[in-house]
């Protein structure tokens, strides 16, 4: 049989965060689909309705959490898949910090959009 290899250290922080974000994403995605695809149909979704939802602190925090968890889960998964394929040394380090910078930029832009949806802006 082939030897099992994973870049995740079992019971390590990365391993745990990947699983916790997966559970969070499944729950919030179910909430998202229920609210925006079954309770409100696509034709009923308006910019004003989005502003109203995003102005509610609980919804806003949930959507920002969704953004952060989704970004971490996706980027961490791709990074570890590349490590599992044999990426190492300088290339691995450069890729890790490139992914960190891209993730931070994505989250910052997502928060800017979320803030704009509430009617507030940050510089």
Measured at the CA of 60, the angle between CA 21 and CA 42, to 5 degrees, comes to 90
Question: pLDDT band at residue 91, thresholds of 50, 70 and 90?
Answer: very high
Q: Report yes or no on 8 lying in a domain.
A: no
Q: What is the pLDDT of residue 123?
A: 62
Q: Report yes or no on 37 lying in a domain.
A: yes
Q: Report yes or no on 47 lying in a domain.
A: yes
Q: Report yes or no on 3 lying in a domain.
A: no
CA distances from 98 to 3, 27, 52, 71, 93 (A): 30, 29, 36, 14, 9
pLDDT of residue 1 exceeding 60: no
Question: pLDDT band at residue 66, thresholds of 50, 70 and 90?
Answer: very high
Per the CB < 8 A criterion, the answer to whether 51 and 119 are in contact is yes
Q: What is the pLDDT of residue 119?
A: 82
Q: What is the pLDDT of residue 35?
A: 85
| CATH of residue 79 | 1.20.1300
Q: What is the pLDDT of residue 78?
A: 95
Number of domains in the chain: 1
pLDDT of residue 109 exceeding 90: yes
pLDDT of residue 7 exceeding 70: no
**What is the span of the domain harbouring residue 35?**
13-118
Out of 15-19, 94-98, 117-121, the most confident range is 94-98
Q: Report yes or no on 6 lying in a domain.
A: no
pLDDT of residue 67 exceeding 90: yes
């Amino acid at each position: 049989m082939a030897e099992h290899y994973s870049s995740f250290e079992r019971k390590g922080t990365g391993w745990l965060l990947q699983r916790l974000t997966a559970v969070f994403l499944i729950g919030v995605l179910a909430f998202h689909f229920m609210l925006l695809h079954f309770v409100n149909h696509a034709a009923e979704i308006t910019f004003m309705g989005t502003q109203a939802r995003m102005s509610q602190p609980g919804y806003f925090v949930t959507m920002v959490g969704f953004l952060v968890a989704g970004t971490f889960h996706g980027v961490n998964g791709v990074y570890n898949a590349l490590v599992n394929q044999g990426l190492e040394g300088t290339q691995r380090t450069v890729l890790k910090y490139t992914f960190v910078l891209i993730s931070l930029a994505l989250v910052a832009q997502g928060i800017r959009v979320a803030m704009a949806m509430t009617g507030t802006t940050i510089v």
